[in-house]
Structure 1
Amino acid sequence: MPPFPTPNSTPSKPASSQSHSGTQSSQTPSSTNTHKAPSAALSFHQHAIMLRYSLSPRTIRALAALPRAAPPDEILRCAASATEFLSFTFSPPEKVAFAGINNDPSTRWHLREPLAQPWHKVFLVAQCEAAGGDYGDKLSLHARNDLYACRNRIVDILGQVLRACADLMGARRDAVGLRRALETWRGVVSGSWEGMPTELLQVPGIGPKKAGLLAKHGVKFVRQLADMEFYHIERILSRNPPFGQKIVRTLALFPRLALAVDIAKREEGARRIIVRAMLGCSNREIPNWKDKSLSVTLAAETPNGTLVFFWRGKVGSLMSGKELVFPVEATSGDAVFVWASCEEIAGTYVTGEVKV
């Protein structure tokens, strides 16, 4: 994701301003529906984003029509309604399986209308993936294999749409919309909503049963697991050596971001301050989680949800720490929230806050 087209290319709030588990999502993508997108020509920046992510003009218009600080379920509904998903219809066996998924407690935003539209399928696939990827036991082997092949394509396209959404939010300095779009994508691609025990499923060798055992012993997050001695891991999971040592070695490559924020300078007689964010990575060696080159994003926002700074880079550049300095117009008593995370890994989200 390139820098946003703004002059300056959250937080102690939980990552999820996107939670609200179990809320009802009855709207067809209301004002965000691609079928109701405005017909105006794309701006220069919107056109560039469309080309960057290979999306249709109608999809870009619909994303751009989202309100500021759009709720995460509205962002996901809008993304799921992209024209790129119109071919992803339900097969008859899938309707039965997805009815169960829609009613499952792990699904955050339920649909109240009959499941019939392509966007319904994408909307539920995204949430199922972010809840650990369990599609239940109502599909035959053949139907399940077909769904898995379809799922991979849905996730790939959804990544393009949600990252385009984040770029559009950033271009208009909508910090909350940007944060929620990236959180939603991170949940889908990592297989876990931020701050949920399902983030343990990212660890090779840890499946749902082992994650459940760890959670019963108070180990709900990857960082907690990474801080354990190998023999404690083996004891809890009733596994023999060298299982624990393999887990510990694997987790040595899980990125551990660290963030500190302060005010570097105050300009007397003015509302302008200079905020300094120190972003680092506390791993002993450059994290290379699952053999991927990892990207990190950092953003800063004011209390009214305005994006005041954005940075994106590789995790390797953080090993000796990176100092990021940016100006903020603020009044006394305001707080500047700063957050950072690896783009596609749950459990890496860190926050900082400084009061003016």
Structure 2
Amino acid sequence: MIGIVSTGVAFHHAGLDSSDRHTIETSFLNGQINVICCTSTLAVGVNLPCHLVVIKNTVSWQDGGCKEYADLEMMQMLGRAGRPQFDDSAIGVILTRKERVAHYEKLVSGSDPLESCLHLNLIDHLNAEIGLGTVTDVESAIRWLRGTFFFVRLQRNPTYYKLKEGGNRADEEELLRQICEKDLELLQENDLVTPEPPFKSTELGDAMARYYVKFETMKLFLSLPPKAKMSEILSVIAQADEFRDIRLKPGEKSLYKEINKANGIKFPIKTDINLSAHKITLLIQSELGAVELPSGEQFHKHRLSFQQDKSLVFSHINRIIRCIIDCQLAHGDSVSARHALELSRSLGAKAWDDSVLQLKQIDQIGIVAVRKFASAGITNMEQLEAAEPIRIETILSRNPPFGMKLLARVAEFPKPRVSLKELGKDIKPGKTPQVKFRADIGFVNEKTPLYFQKRQVYVCFLAEISDGRIIDFRRFQ
């Protein structure tokens, strides 16, 4: 980098240190650098207007192969050309294969119309419309589909949707019927809607719509074995279709092999790490186990992408785990539901629930402070709350009144309580014994915590019997 910057040229990609990237961006805006050779990441999120944009090749490596950039990505990159404060015109150059020239000429001129992709993920929308009561049978599904942009484009450009040129109304009707019947059958096969019309969503279908989960992801959740372990639940989360854009990139394999060896990884991968799902599992566990990026120059270049991928995973993960919980409740599987609830607590706290890392939920307690508390024998919230202010200050090498302020924050941490009372029982020979209980649920906090860390507090109550069946479940605030 140092050798070429002096010529007014620099390069920019995700492997660079964030400070180096910032320096390059600032230098370009200031006019100290005239040319930047970069990856497509610079086209997103960073405002660097320029006079000339050259896109060299229109494909990128995706899902194990070279794929064409989406039209919106191309327009985003071309949109960097133009500096209103300096120019009244700009230049965009696209270098592509000969067979793609006509496509990009239409794209740039605005003569290439936008096409619908509703038919590619119609099943997700059909499930939601059945839940809303809009679609109750094949005929109502066709009527609903006729009111969409997909139907407008189907009439205007039938060949794009694999309908023969010059097809008549009957052909359109038949295509719509085939699409709807196929997807409705898939929803029925997976117990997401009722078997016969008028169709209604099952509990599973409601969960899929409620949490905006994709159909392919939902099939994974439904494939979980009875009494699923936490590791099995984590495995299906990592395979979710919502994470399809997160790939194990070239050069990352050694990084995740090192992470897999860390103490904070509760469920290490026992096979060769070569799948995107392996990477996602380790991204999740690295956050819950406070695993730091391995030292070494070969790993340092992956720091930014590691944080970005982890952030993307956690932007989806809470709704995904809640969907899994609701699926297991619908199946009446208390063991799987309990394990999913325990994992949900860890994901919400971004720390393994049964580890000393739970202390990180308190403001001003980071990983260094957690280690100091652990060395002093304080490994959970109860022990921290029972500690004297002066002891806390001694452990963390802080001055008063740090200990008092920290304990005040610990006092705000939600501490639920539950008590059970037998109200009566009916045990007769030849009949199933019946026992009535009353569960009293509340908080031991002086004041009921409605919010913690700016998030609303809610409680899940699960009652089960020893054979793994659910007696009762409530989720309330």
TM-score where L is the length of structure 1: 0.73
Tell me the equivalent position of 1:40: 189
Distance, in Å, in 2 between the alignment partners of 1:140 and 1:103 is: 15
Matches within 5 A, 1:21-100: 40-43=189-192, 44-100=202-258
Distance 1:81 1:299, change over 3 A: same
Q: Deviations over 1:217-257 (max 9, x none)?
A: 21100221122221221122221012112201111210111
| Cα RMSD (Å) | 2.1
Distance, in Å, in 2 between the alignment partners of 1:137 and 1:220 is: 27
Tell me the equivalent position of 2:330: 171
Distance, in Å, in 2 between the alignment partners of 1:92 and 1:249 is: 48
| Superposed displacement of residue 168, structure 1 | 0.5
**Is the CA contact 2:261–2:268 (under 8 Å) kept in the aligned structure 1?**
yes
Tell me the equivalent position of 1:221: 380
Q: Name the structure where helix makes up a greater proportion of residues.
A: 2
**Is the CA contact 2:424–2:436 (under 8 Å) kept in the aligned structure 1?**
yes
Q: Structure 2 residue aligned with 1:276, among 438, 450, 463?
A: 438
Distance, in Å, in 2 between the alignment partners of 1:214 and 1:41 is: 49
Q: Deviations over 1:116-138 (max 9, x none)?
A: 32211111111112112533335
Tell me the equivalent position of 2:307: 148
**Is the CA contact 2:191–2:204 (under 8 Å) kept in the aligned structure 1?**
yes
Distance, in Å, in 2 between the alignment partners of 1:186 and 1:133 is: 18
Distance, in Å, in 2 between the alignment partners of 1:90 and 1:246 is: 44
Matched, 1:237 2:396: yes
SS of residue matched to 1:193: coil
**Is the CA contact 2:359–2:370 (under 8 Å) kept in the aligned structure 1?**
yes
Q: Structure 2 residue aligned with 1:137, among 295, 299, 323?
A: 295
Residue segments in structure 2 that go unaligned for 5+ positions in a row: 1-185, 193-201
| Superposed displacement of residue 173, structure 1 | 0.9
The letter of the residue matching 2:452 is: W
SS of residue matched to 1:305: coil
Distance, in Å, in 2 between the alignment partners of 1:307 and 1:99 is: 39
SS of residue matched to 1:104: coil
**Is the CA contact 1:155–1:189 (under 8 Å) kept in the aligned structure 2?**
no
Distance, in Å, in 2 between the alignment partners of 1:204 and 1:294 is: 17
Q: Deviations over 1:27-69 (max 9, x none)?
A: xxxxxxxxxx999243222221111111111211221121111
SS of residue matched to 2:189: coil
Distance, in Å, in 1 between the alignment partners of 2:311 and 2:419 is: 37
Distance, in Å, in 2 between the alignment partners of 1:76 and 1:38 is: 24
Distance, in Å, in 1 between the alignment partners of 2:437 and 2:294 is: 48
Distance, in Å, in 2 between the alignment partners of 1:113 and 1:89 is: 18
**Is the CA contact 2:211–2:323 (under 8 Å) kept in the aligned structure 1?**
yes
Distance, in Å, in 1 between the alignment partners of 2:420 and 2:413 is: 23
The letter of the residue matching 1:230 is: P
Length, aligned pairs only:
278
| Superposed displacement of residue 171, structure 1 | 0.6
| Superposed displacement of residue 262, structure 1 | 2.5
Tell me the equivalent position of 1:105: 263
**Is the CA contact 1:38–1:62 (under 8 Å) kept in the aligned structure 2?**
no
**Is the CA contact 2:264–2:288 (under 8 Å) kept in the aligned structure 1?**
no
SS of residue matched to 2:228: coil
Matched, 1:308 2:308: no
| Superposed displacement of residue 166, structure 1 | 0.7
Structure number with larger C-alpha Rg = 2
**Is the CA contact 2:259–2:291 (under 8 Å) kept in the aligned structure 1?**
no
Residue segments in structure 1 that go unaligned for 5+ positions in a row: 1-36, 315-356
The letter of the residue matching 1:69 is: K
What percent of counterpart residues are identical?
A: 26
Tell me the equivalent position of 1:338: none
